[in-house]
Amino acid sequence: MARGFLYLVAVMDWHSRYVLAWRLSNTLEAGFCAEALEEALGQGQHQVFNTDQGSQFTSWEFTQVLQERGVKISMDGKGRYQYNIFVDRLWRTVKYEEVYLKAYTSVLEAQRGLEDYFRFYNGLRPHQALGYRTPAEVFYGEQDEVEGDSNGRRGSPGQETESPAGESGFSLSSALILSK
């Protein structure tokens, strides 16, 4: 983008690294984060939700969605980097494999590029930590036929899985990804 900032929020399943939902916004208000959360929760019931302590994640609008569904809220504290490490790694991957290479010129271009990328990330990009399987393969337990993007890459939505701690859970974070 020639000017301005865009913020990305993503909800990721801990176990499979599957991106359940994501949203892009030009503000850090809680609304776009709550929308992504609602979409992710529509894909299965989770027991634990982990995030950092950003104002959008501690807002009533956001926490109310979790409380209404009985989901435990876990927020990273000082020195508690490990809980959000999967999302932090996702940000690095998205930046180096997509954002920095494309240098988007508009919000619409960023939206379309990220949509294609997350389909690729979930459905085609193998992860060493997942035994060289894709997040979708781990999330579903089997490789399903999934819808392709405009570049022939594929991806699909998910189902409930468990965190490394044995609880069904997922993580969320936001990051500044586009600026000049």
**Which pLDDT tens digits describe the chain residue by residue (180 residues)?**
667 788 999 988 888 899 999 999 988 889 999 999 999 988 877 788 878 777 888 899 999 999 998 888 887 665 555 666 788 889 899 999 999 898 888 999 999 999 999 999 999 999 999 999 999 999 888 544 444 444 444 433 333 334 444 444 554 444 433 433
- Tell me the residue range of the domain where 128 lies: 5-179
- Nearest residue to 118 (alpha-carbon basis) of 145, 141, 151: 151
Are 90 and 20 in contact, with CB atoms under 8 Å apart?
Answer: no
Beta bridge partners of 11: 21, 172
141 φ, ψ (degrees, to nearest 5): 85, -15
| Domains in the chain, number | 1
* The two three-digit tokens of residue 54, written as one number: 């950003």
Are 84 and 52 in contact, with CB atoms under 8 Å apart?
Answer: yes
Sequence-separated (6 or more) residues with CB below 8 Å from residue 168:
44, 45, 46, 47, 48, 160, 161, 162
Task: Identify the CATH number of the domain in which residue 20 sits.
Answer: 3.30.420.10
Q: What is the pTM of this model?
A: 0.76
